[in-house]
Amino acid sequence: MADIFHEIEEELRRDKALAFWKKHGTKVIVLAVVFVAAIGGWRFYQHQQRSQAEATGARYEQALELLGANRGDEAAALLREIENDGSTGYRLVARLRLAAETARSDPARGVEAYEAIAADATVPAGLRDLARLRAVVAGFDQMDAPTVTAKLEPLATPAAVWRHSARELLGLAALKAGDYEAAGRWFDQIAADREAPPALRQRVNIYLELVRSGPVGKAG
C-alpha cells in the first residue's frame, strides 16, 4: 500500500513540474541565458580593464625611461597621452608626474598644475591634499609666510595624512620670515609626534637649534 501512495506522490510531483515548466519554462531559459551572459560580460570587462591597465603601465614605464634619458619633451607627450586615454589610476599618476616635471622647469606653471589637481573633485581627497602640499613646495621661494600658512595649516592637523611635511614647510616659512616663535611651535609639534619619520626628526633638531640661536648676528 505504501508503494502505491509513493507512486501517486511521484506522479503528482511530475505533473506539477510539467505544468510549471509549460507555464514558466521560457522565463527560466531567458533568465539562465541572461545570467550566463552577465557573468561572461563581467569577465570580459575585467579582462579588458586588466589589459588596458597593463598596456598603460607599460607606457608609463616607457615615459619614466625617457625622463631618465633626459628626453623630457617625449616623456611629457607620452604622459599627456596617458592622462587623456589611459586606465583610470594611471591617468592620475601621469597627471601628478606631469605637474612635477612642469614644476622643475617652470615653478609658477607647476603650482598651477598642482592647484588644478587640488581643485578637481574627481580626485581622491588624500591626493588633492598632496597636490596642495606639492603646489607649496613648487612655489615656496615665491610665497610669503601668511600664504604658506593659509594653504597648509588645514593639512597640519593631528589626524592629517600629510601633517609632517605640512608642519615642516610651515616652520620653514615662519623661519624665513623671522618669526622664530611660530617656527618653534611647528617644529615642536613634529618633535612631539611619535609617528614623525626619523629623517624628519633629525632635520627638526637642526631647525630647533636655529630657532634657539635666533636671528643671525643676534647675541646669545
For the chain (220 residues), the mean pLDDT of every run of 10, in chain order, is: 49 59 61 55 49 73 82 85 78 88 91 95 92 94 95 95 95 94 95 93 92 63
- Residues found in the chain: 220
Taking the C-alpha atoms of residue 49 and residue 63, their distance in angstroms, rounded to an integer, is 21
User: Cell 636655529 sits at which residue?
Assistant: 210
User: Cell 511521484 sits at which residue?
Assistant: 10
| 3-state secondary structure string across the chain | CHHHHHHHHHHHHHHHHHHHHHHHHHHHHHHHHHHHHHHHHHHHHHHHHHHHHHHHHHHHHHHHHHHHCCCHHHHHHHHHHHHHHCCHHHHHHHHHHHHHHHHHHCHHHHHHHHHHHHCCCCCCHHHHHHHHHHHHHHHHHHCCHHHHHHHHHHHCCCCCCCHHHHHHHHHHHHHHCCCHHHHHHHHHHHHHCCCCCHHHHHHHHHHHHHHHHCCCCCCC
CA neighbor of 87 nearest in space, from 113, 57, 42: 57
Contact 156, 163 (CB under 8 A): yes
pLDDT at 51: 59
pLDDT at 67: 78
CA neighbor of 110 nearest in space, from 81, 141, 82, 88: 141
pLDDT at 50: 63
pLDDT at 145: 95
Q: Whole-prediction pTM value?
A: 0.70
